[in-house]
A and B are shown apart, each in its own frame.
Chain A
Amino acid sequence: MTHKQIIEETLDGTVLFNVPFPKNIAHLKEMSPIILKHPYHVEYLHSYGQDSPWFAGLANKKLLGTECPKCGYKHTTPKLSCMRCGAETEWKELPPEGKVHSFTVCHYGAEEFLKETPFILAMIEFEGWNTLLLSRLVGLDPQQANLKWVGTKVKPKFRRNSKFKPTDVWFVPA
């Protein structure tokens, strides 16, 4: 394929206060559309609700999951209602070490994370636990992505000053 040079489209521009108007209104349908830019910023009060203890755990360097007292199903990413039988689950600490179940290197991303690219996303599995945990994987070279990364033993690292986000924990090779 040919590599075309392009000038990036951006959303900044000029403030416009008037536009041309035809003398004959029959010509109005030939007019170009008027396109405006609006800001759209909202402050939300988001509650983690029944998931809150998980975030409190991260702030105290503890990684928690939930276990069903009825059927024993172990949710690595916590769920307070058992996915298998519907019973209310109990909080439990996860093992200190896990393995990379799958991963990707994001070279692009949602606008919010674009400045952090390239970063590694990974699904982590824990011995004896039924489901997985999505986290960042740090300490591997994003340019060297390969399938051998799957199965790598990893351990969690915690942020010293918690931001109460799931990124308060990340994983590094153990």
Chain B
Amino acid sequence: MSQSAKDVYVVSAGVSKFAKARPDKTFQAIVKEAVDYTVKDVGLEYPKFLELVDGSVASYFSDHFTRQLMAGIMAQDYLSLCPKPSHRVEGGGATGGICFQEAYKNIASGDMDICLAYGFETMSHVETWKGNEFIALASDINFDYPVGGFYSGYYAMMVVRHMMEFGTTVEQMAHVSVKNHNNAFHNSYAQKRQRLTIKDVRNSPMVAWPLTRLDICVMSDGAAACLLTSEEGLNKLEKASGKKYPRVKVRAIGRGTDAMRMSDRPHQSFEDFYKYNAMANEQDGDSKKYYKELWAKHFKYPGIHSFRAGRMASKMAYENGGIKDPLKEINFVELHDAYTSSEIQTYEDMGLCKYGEGGSFAASGKTFVPGVEYGLKLESQPVCPVNPSGGLIACGHPVGATGLMQAAFALWQLQGAIGKHFGDATLQLNNPKIGAIHSHAGTGTYVTVSLMERI
């Protein structure tokens, strides 16, 4: 990140409640719901907002689902934002996270003072298995898709390798599903509000061994929006609304990539891992000894069990944001749990625990929310709640909106406004200062990590 980057604030956000299908409205009108909410929460009338906003970034993943090219401009004009500058971003499941970061850059570069990030996906226009086909087209169509393209299958192969390397169990994975679903029970925005047990997760139909239906997120229709500003932009909004907003800043951003084909992922040596991938909190003698022992057992990194892009994104964000010990310094994380297994893998990428400890960490209780009833015996108190909102697994995953939904939920946590927006304050954490949002595309190809901070 450039030293000359300007401070960037997140002022408000909005989410259209995610649903299996929204035939009542077209995508533009669903986006408008999320934007109307965002503008209302700033305390402005819509015409005043239009006068002040400098431009936007649009986020949606698939042209196939909409069967409409240039959907971004159709949202832009429905929002009455023409002729202000805008562009569409696309990066698979990470599209929303990328959108947030591009809006950040518009402000940090001094190009805009007030920028609206909005995103959507309407996945109900085809039935589920056709939808899975569209998503699987986000895999190499020469070598991967025709073999039996199915994203749940790809993630299943990744976690099978994780189980082989580290002894991760399906019960540990089920803990993630129970945690996230039971959190979502208190989130009025969630698509699935169910109290589940480990048994429910394991007894639900097998989709791709060992992942069951309750290890996997669902498809949704929905939209989300987020308003980012510079210091000047914030002052302009406050002057116009007569309100004073809680100060929530974007502390740092990071982004990483990896090869589309899982088969192409490298298998690096211990030396290369320490040269390119190890984090600040893994430089001590104990950590080096721990990893040395892993490699002594023919371990390689990242292989298909870990997301090197997620590690890169986290490492960059932490280095730019001065985070040395993420588990202690970050108060909560909203991460991309399209699969319970990928939440476990992401704990490790984000340095909340070491590579190999994700399974036991998931079942330890450290990532659970204080005061929520899970019906589980957990050995540790919560330290850093992960997906306090319920995550993708319970809230839904309308791809282009997802990363912005995470930004909205993280903002409300940092503002202390969960009760106001969810209509239930159970999930409000006690005075959180720093939150991380993590957005992830197909098998870990693009990953973004953004740190938000209340000041």
Do residues B129 and A130 form an inter-chain contact, with CB atoms below 8 A? no
Do residues A123 and B262 form an inter-chain contact, with CB atoms below 8 A? yes
Distance of B27 from chain A, by nearest CB (Å): 13
Within residues 119 to 158 of chain A, which ones have a CB less than 8 A from any CB in chain B? 119, 121-123, 130-136, 145, 147, 150
- Residue of chain A at shortest CB distance from B267: A130
Do residues B208 and A83 form an inter-chain contact, with CB atoms below 8 A? no
In the assembled complex, the Cα of A38 lies from the Cα of B127 at a distance in Å of: 13
Give 1 or 0 for each of A33-55: 1 = CB within 8 Å of chain B CB: 10100101000001010010000
Do residues B207 and A107 form an inter-chain contact, with CB atoms below 8 A? yes
A-B CB pair tally, cutoff 8 Å: 142
- A contact residues around B203 at 8 Å (CB): 1
Give 1 or 0 for each of B88-104: 1 = CB within 8 Å of chain A CB: 00000000000000000
Q: A101-B161, A109-B148 are in contact. Are A11 and B127 (CB under 8 A)?
A: yes
Q: A111-B132, A123-B263 are in contact. Are A116 and B148 (CB under 8 A)?
A: yes
Interface residues of A, CB < 8 Å — how many?
49
15 contacts between A and B (CB under 8 A): A102-B161, A104-B153, A104-B160, A104-B208, A104-B211, A106-B156, A111-B132, A113-B149, A121-B150, A123-B304, A132-B262, A132-B264, A134-B261, A135-B147, A150-B164
Give 1 or 0 for each of B131-172: 1 = CB within 8 Å of chain A CB: 011011000011110111110110011101101100000000
- Residue of chain A at shortest CB distance from B137: A110
Give 1 or 0 for each of B114-142: 1 = CB within 8 Å of chain A CB: 00000000000001011011011000011
Do residues B148 and A106 form an inter-chain contact, with CB atoms below 8 A? yes
- A contact residues around B164 at 8 Å (CB): 102, 147, 150
Give 1 or 0 for each of A152-170: 1 = CB within 8 Å of chain B CB: 0000000000000111000
In the assembled complex, the Cα of A109 lies from the Cα of B153 at a distance in Å of: 8
- B contact residues around A166 at 8 Å (CB): 142-144, 146-147
Do residues A113 and B150 form an inter-chain contact, with CB atoms below 8 A? yes
Q: A101-B161, A102-B161, A104-B156 are in contact. Are A75 and B148 (CB under 8 A)?
A: no
Within residues 246 to 297 of chain B, which ones have a CB less than 8 A from any CB in chain A? 259, 261-267
Partner of B304, one of A51, A102, A107: A102
Partner of B266, one of A35, A83, A122: A83
Interface residues of B, CB < 8 Å — how many?
48
Do residues B264 and A136 form an inter-chain contact, with CB atoms below 8 A? no
Do residues B265 and A107 form an inter-chain contact, with CB atoms below 8 A? no
Instruction: Give 6 new A-B contacts, CB below 8 A, not counting A33-B24, A147-B163.
Output: A105-B206, A106-B148, A106-B156, A112-B133, A119-B148, A134-B261
- B contact residues around A116 at 8 Å (CB): 148
| Residues of chain A whose beta carbon lies under 8 Å from any beta carbon of chain B | 1, 9-11, 33, 35, 38, 40, 46, 48, 51, 75-77, 79, 83-84, 101-114, 116, 119, 121-123, 130-136, 145, 147, 150, 165-167
Do residues B158 and A102 form an inter-chain contact, with CB atoms below 8 A? yes
- B contact residues around A114 at 8 Å (CB): 129
- A contact residues around B144 at 8 Å (CB): 134, 166
Q: A1-B203, A107-B205, A109-B129 are in contact. Are A102 and B148 (CB under 8 A)?
A: no
- B47 contacts the other chain (Cβ, under 8 Å)? no
- B325 contacts the other chain (Cβ, under 8 Å)? no
Partner of B67, one of A10, A40, A106: A40
- B424 contacts the other chain (Cβ, under 8 Å)? no
Partner of B146, one of A40, A111, A119, A167: A167
In the assembled complex, the Cα of A113 lies from the Cα of B139 at a distance in Å of: 15
- B235 contacts the other chain (Cβ, under 8 Å)? no
Distance of A121 from chain B, by nearest CB (Å): 5
- B23 contacts the other chain (Cβ, under 8 Å)? yes
Partner of B160, one of A9, A109, A150, A165: A150
In the assembled complex, the Cα of A108 lies from the Cα of B163 at a distance in Å of: 22
- A contact residues around B381 at 8 Å (CB): none
Do residues A9 and B127 form an inter-chain contact, with CB atoms below 8 A? yes
- A contact residues around B304 at 8 Å (CB): 101-102, 123, 132
- Residue of chain B at shortest CB distance from A112: B133
Distance of A124 from chain B, by nearest CB (Å): 9
Q: A108-B207, A110-B132, A121-B153 are in contact. Are A79 and B161 (CB under 8 A)?
A: no
Q: A102-B160, A108-B208, A145-B209 are in contact. Are A133 and B129 (CB under 8 A)?
A: no
- B contact residues around A33 at 8 Å (CB): 23-25
